[in-house]
Amino acid sequence: MADSFVFLSVSGGLQSVISDIESIPANIRIAAARAVNRTSERARTASAREMRGQVNFPARYLSSADGRLSIVKKASADDLEAVIRGRGEATSLARFITGGQKGKGVRVEVKPGVARYMSRTFTFKLKNGNTGLAIRTSGGPPKGAYKPKKLSENLYLLYGPSVDQVFRSVAEDVAEPMADFLEREFNRLLDLGSLN
For residues 80 and 34, is the Cβ–Cβ distance under 8 A?
no
CA distance linking residue 179 with residue 118, whole number of Å: 42
The reported pLDDT for the residue numbered 64 is 72
Number of residues written out for the chain: 196
Give me the residue spans of the domains in the chain: 4-89+163-192, 91-160
Burial of 20 (0-12, 13-18, 19+ CB in 10 A): exposed
Share of residues in the chain with pLDDT > 70 (%): 86
Predicted TM-score (pTM) of this structure: 0.81
The reported pLDDT for the residue numbered 102 is 72
Beta bridge partners of 66: none
Distance in Å from the first CA to the final CA of the chain: 34
* Res 194 pLDDT > 50: no
For residues 104 and 36, is the Cβ–Cβ distance under 8 A?
no
Task: State the average pLDDT over residues 95-108.
Answer: 85
More confident residue, 104 or 149: 149
Beta bridge partners of 82: 8
Between strands 155-160 and 91-92, the pairing is antiparallel
CA distance linking residue 108 with residue 11, whole number of Å: 41
CA dihedral 108, 111, 114, 118 (to 10 degrees): -30
pLDDT digits (tens, 9 = 90+) for 23-35: 678 888 899 899 9
CA distance linking residue 4 with residue 177, whole number of Å: 21
Mean pLDDT, all residues of the chain: 84
- List all residues 6 or more positions away from 103 whose beta carbon is below 8 Å from its beta carbon: none
